Amino acid sequence: MTIRAVVWGENVHEQTNKIVADLYPDGMHGAIAASLRDGGIEATTATLQEPEHGLTEDRLAQTDVLLWWGHAAHGEVSDVIVDRVADHVHAGMGLILLHSSHFAKIFKRLMGTPCNLTWREAGERERLWITSRNHPIAAGLPDHFELENEEMYGEPFAVPEPLETVFISWFQGGEVFRSGLTYKRGAGNVFYFRPGHETYPTYYDPNVQTVLRNAVRWAHNPAPRVTGLHDAPNITVDQALEPISERGPRLHVDGEEGFK
Amino acid sequence: MTIRAVVWGENVHEQTNKIVADLYPDGMHGAIAASLRDGGIEATTATLQEPEHGLTEDRLAQTDVLLWWGHAAHGEVSDVIVDRVADHVHAGMGLILLHSSHFAKIFKRLMGTPCNLTWREAGERERLWITSRNHPIAAGLPDHFELENEEMYGEPFAVPEPLETVFISWFQGGEVFRSGLTYKRGAGNVFYFRPGHETYPTYYDPNVQTVLRNAVRWAHNPAPRVTGLHDAPNITVDQALEPISERGPRLHVDGEEGFK
Amino acid sequence: MTIRAVVWGENVHEQTNKIVADLYPDGMHGAIAASLRDGGIEATTATLQEPEHGLTEDRLAQTDVLLWWGHAAHGEVSDVIVDRVADHVHAGMGLILLHSSHFAKIFKRLMGTPCNLTWREAGERERLWITSRNHPIAAGLPDHFELENEEMYGEPFAVPEPLETVFISWFQGGEVFRSGLTYKRGAGNVFYFRPGHETYPTYYDPNVQTVLRNAVRWAHNPAPRVTGLHDAPNITVDQALEPISERGPRLHVDGEEGFK
Amino acid sequence: MTIRAVVWGENVHEQTNKIVADLYPDGMHGAIAASLRDGGIEATTATLQEPEHGLTEDRLAQTDVLLWWGHAAHGEVSDVIVDRVADHVHAGMGLILLHSSHFAKIFKRLMGTPCNLTWREAGERERLWITSRNHPIAAGLPDHFELENEEMYGEPFAVPEPLETVFISWFQGGEVFRSGLTYKRGAGNVFYFRPGHETYPTYYDPNVQTVLRNAVRWAHNPAPRVTGLHDAPNITVDQALEPISERGPRLHVDGEEGFK
């Protein structure tokens, strides 16, 4: 089954910064999508500037896995769209957060924590170590790989304890960072992957490309989307699976909806 | 060290429903606080109707553990106060969510999931089983205990996988529910405890009172509150712990703040 | 890719108890393997009585997922075979523990806990509730399903906190049990599934068969087996990824193996 | 309440290696116990060479938290004593594993995994980063601290995903390691802490001493020890909490013990 991925890009620095524009002439989202397609994934793109940021209800309903790259314009992302994406994740859409998207509204919404960290933009060496051998997201990778120039992100990283820590980064300047973390929110698989500063050619790195292809496959939940996401159905006494009689005082009358 | 707990009550049905008013003449929050005080905890109350819902910045700064009971008026809780409470949890304040507070804004904010479930108000028997023997929250309890009349909550309960499942409930009508779940959000310990429908005398039950006293002690983090909760400090090349030189192109100039 | 499953059966009560023999003329392992084959899985069987319990090194090397059912003869399973199976799990083989295998040596070995519980053989009704909607192991199942006659297992179940709780059982006699639990040990996915008492036709139940087929697919790790499972390689100063000089006193000489 | 800690030392290199003997004239266990006592903990020592390795049933019954340091003589530790210690952990005794005890029988027993890693003895710089701000084990510590000379341990570290990752180490030679990991096994809290090579003065480091004092307090479970650790009680039909009748065929007769 072909997996349908949408790579969402903020697409700001590609338009305003010559270094980024030269490095990623089709946008970072374009480069990432091309690499996913090379891996047999049906990948398209969406950007902040499109109507509804390119993430209409119809589009998301047809999306198996959404990848998200944002940095300068987190605040410009509409809360309505964030709610919509969150609902699709809860219903089963996979979500992969890239690099500076640690501060994206959608990531903070799903984590429930500040998601802050320390950082340094010095083009230093990053070395990613696999901490969960043979994890599907690490398939085909060596035990460690390097990115010669990357931005540093340092611990403490204010996120909830993950389901699994897949990668930890070593930085030349002396810091460490949990670079690959898996979560589940509702029926949706969520993966945060650290590398990807816009002034470096990170998304052309073969190991990074392998991680993203693996992560898309891992995040894909083939089950139909969950419906009634926010419903709290009232199971009446008549509908009880075991015979019971009503006892004691009540607040609600039959058929009444619960409070939300 | 005495632990300072604040029991927050929505205080709606106590004012509008005779059954609830007769059962909890001092409010559910009042009954809970009294029971905590009997256990040596310095417990006070706060309600929706007070200015800032009784949860000013100063009050929260002096609160070790906040207990939260809401049901009919989740929507009336100010988003500003929800943000404030969330920040205090991230900084280290404990938070205990009671019963219908599964739909409280603060719980959904911290969990990042819909937190929905099924329910039935039939005064049926609930039996809570301990699944984590000798967990501090279960100290002094038998392996199971019963509440003869309770509202039913049924799985699936749309919350993230917890750090630990402490209690699971059996219901007479045939359902089960994860009734005691621990989480950590930032430096704050979070506990959800299911029982507590307002038309039943649940908060007078000795075992329930034991759970709440234990939970307050468990949730208390004696460390000073974390500061700079949302900061993402820029560690410059000069400040690097290992000597590095700047390499490659940059987006930011020295001393510039990062994007949020 | 076809998945190769081996269903290991203790095969004792099928030989000594008329009820079980009549119910499962090809053994419980035979019935389970047939159901897996109906789901497109390449399933064979192995039993306690075969040389090396049917689990030779070669056989395990060709096994993607091992299912294990034992009850009366846990103590007769050779420790050498338990070690061998554990190593294959660490290296990436999936393992599914069925019912009374909670006390199997291999499960206790991998969990590191007593794995005890309470029980009652009364043919009572069990109802399994899904607690992780859309989990791959629950694909195609309703939110709950019933087994009209099963043995009861009750909490507390002395196992480590799982990666995810997928099913919780309600029992007619008043108990609950975490019936579907996922773990990872090394590169191997591990799933414990509760139902399956030998005097009842549980393994002919369509929902149970769906769970087992799903679980085999979920547990399958397509990566090549991890090698050097117990090695602790000495990375010498010369091999360090960053240039360092040796400093301070040493215990080991170059090329010496570490202590184990 | 005073916490009773026992520091178990293998006590081999202290007797056979002049560097270690000079550095730790009272043994590493002696130095650790002295530091715990300075923190108000009632700490004593036990060694491999004593009868029953100093860990009699009576001694363990009076121990709240056991610290374990082994390296050269893992294989000489009696399996009987390992079983005994494991049982006490399951029943509620805290256990702290130090450095090369990643390969101790008791750690492998409780983890169910190979617990292997990579290593290098070069006296290089290790920097420990806190990944769980305000975790009780990190109380009073800065966000990171350094050990100027330590042995390197590198990922992948073959352990189960922890409850929480508290520390991650950066090494001068380019590796990272999850240096502080929490687990729970039965009612016992378990903490692995990486630093502590015997040729370096690590256990005199004030930050390391703070970690160990904190860890002892964190690991202490004040509840009475769990009894009937390996029992699987048969709850008969008469004892069922809800009235049920026996149905269907049976394997066991009344009062019979289950299989183990």
Could you read off the pLDDT of C152-177 as tens digits, one per residue? Answer: 999 999 999 999 999 999 999 999 99
Residue C240 touches chain A, beta carbons under 8 Å: no
What pLDDT is stored for residue A257 in this prediction?
77
Whole-number pLDDT of residue A45: 98
Look at chain D and count its residues.
260
Tokens for A180, please give them. Answer: 């690959």
Q: What is the pLDDT along chain D (260 residues), one digit of tens a residue?
A: 799 999 999 999 999 999 999 999 999 999 999 999 999 999 999 999 999 999 999 999 999 999 999 999 999 999 999 999 999 999 999 999 999 999 999 999 999 999 999 999 999 999 999 999 999 999 999 999 999 999 999 999 999 999 999 999 999 999 999 999 999 999 999 999 999 999 999 999 999 999 999 999 999 999 999 999 999 999 999 999 999 999 988 888 777 778 88
Q: C199, C19 in Cβ contact below 8 A?
A: yes
Smallest CA-to-CA distance from D216 within D84, D63, D99 is with: D63
C-alpha triplet B96, B101, B105: angle, nearest 5°: 100
C-alpha closest to that of C22 among C30, C14, C33, C32: C14
* Dist CA C136 CA C166 (whole Å): 10
Contacts of A25 (CB under 8 A, 6+ apart): none
Does any CB of chain C come closer than 8 Å to the CB of residue D79?
Answer: no
C129 closest CB neighbour out of B127, B158, B176: B176
pLDDT for the residue numbered B79: 98
pLDDT value at residue B248: 83
Farthest-apart Cα atoms in chain D, separation: 73
Query: Which residue in chain D has the smallest CA separation from B182?
Result: D163
- The upper half-sphere exposure of residue D220, i.e. CA atoms within 13 Å in the direction of its Cβ, equals 20
Q: State which H helix or E strand residue A170 sits in.
A: strand A164-171
Total Cβ atoms within 10 A of residue D85 = 26
Sequence-ordered alpha helix ranges (H) in B27-140: 27-38, 57-61, 79-91, 105-111
* Helices assigned H by DSSP within chain C: 13-16, 18-23, 27-38, 57-61, 79-91, 105-111, 206-219
pLDDT at A259 over 90: no
Average pLDDT, chain C: 96
Residue C9 CA: distances (Å) to CA of C38, C97, C198: 19, 11, 11
- Is B164 within 8 Å of B143 (Cβ atoms)? no
Digit-coded pLDDT (tens) for B190-238:
999 999 999 999 999 999 999 999 999 999 999 999 999 999 999 999 9
| Two structure tokens written together for C64 | 């993607």
Closest residue by Cα to residue D68 from D107, D35, D16: D107
Contacts of D133 in chain A (CB under 8 A): 156, 158
C188-193: strand order across its sheet: C42-47, C4-9, C65-69, C94-98, C188-193, C176-185, C164-171, C118-130, C144-154
Inter-chain Cβ pairs, chain B and chain D, closer than 8 A: 43
C226 touching A (Cβ < 8 Å): yes
- Reduced to 3 states (helix: H, G, I; strand: E, B; else coil), residue B167 is strand
Taking CA–CA distances from A224, the nearest residue in chain C reads C134
Sheet holding A65-69, edge to edge: A42-47, A4-9, A65-69, A94-98, A188-193, A176-185, A164-171, A118-130, A144-154
What tokens does A94 get? Answer: 């996979």
Average pLDDT score, chain B: 96
Amino acid at C38: D
Q: Model confidence over B120-160: pLDDT tens digits?
A: 999 999 999 999 999 999 999 999 999 999 999 999 999 99
> What per-residue confidence (pLDDT) applies to A234?
95
User: How much is the pLDDT for C252?
Assistant: 82
Q: What is the pLDDT of residue D1?
A: 72
- H helices of C5-99, in order, are 13-16, 18-23, 27-38, 57-61, 79-91
Nearest partner of D112 among D137, D93, D91, D86, judged by Cα: D86
Alpha carbons A103 and A98: distance in angstroms, whole number: 10
Confidence band, pLDDT 50/70/90 cuts, at residue B51: very high
* Opening angle at CA D159, ends D156 and D163, nearest 5: 115
Q: What was the pLDDT predicted at A159?
A: 98
In angstroms, rounded to a whole number, what is the distance separating the alpha carbons of residues B220 and B188?
8
What pLDDT shows up at residue A230?
A: 95
Check if the beta carbon of residue D1 is closer than 8 Å to that of residue D60.
Answer: no
Q: Looking up tokens 């070593």, which residue turns up?
A: A170
Q: What is the pLDDT of residue D254?
A: 72
Q: Is the pLDDT of residue A252 over 90?
A: no
Residue B252 confidence (pLDDT):
82
Contact state of A185 with B229 under an 8 Å Cβ cutoff: no
In sequence order, the β-bridge partners of residue A191 are A96, A182
Closest approach of B18 to chain A, Cα-based (Å):
10
- What is the C-alpha to C-alpha distance for residues D245 and C231, in angstroms, rounded to an integer? 55
Touching check for B239 and chain D: CB below 8 Å? no
Specify which residues B233 forms β-bridges with: none
- The pLDDT tens digits for C210-232 are 999 999 999 999 999 999 999 99
Distance CA C251, CA C171 (A): 59
State how far residue B102 is from chain C, nearest Cα, in angstroms.
Answer: 16
**What pLDDT score does D10 carry?**
97
Q: pLDDT-based confidence at B249, cuts 50/70/90?
A: confident
For residue C200, is pLDDT > 80? yes
- Count of CB atoms within 10 A of residue B1's CB? 6
3 state SS of C139? coil
pLDDT in tens, B154-190: 999 999 999 999 999 999 999 999 999 999 999 999 9
Q: Residues 16..35 of D with a Cβ closer than 8 Å to C: which?
A: 17, 19-20
- DSSP helix/strand/coil, C212: helix
Q: Cα(B86)–Cα(B16) distance, rounded to whole angstroms? A: 29
Q: Do A154 and D129 touch (CB under 8 A)?
A: yes
pLDDT digits (tens, 9 = 90+) for A132-170: 999 999 999 999 999 999 999 999 999 999 999 999 999
Is there a cis peptide before residue C114, judged by omega within 30 degrees of 0? no
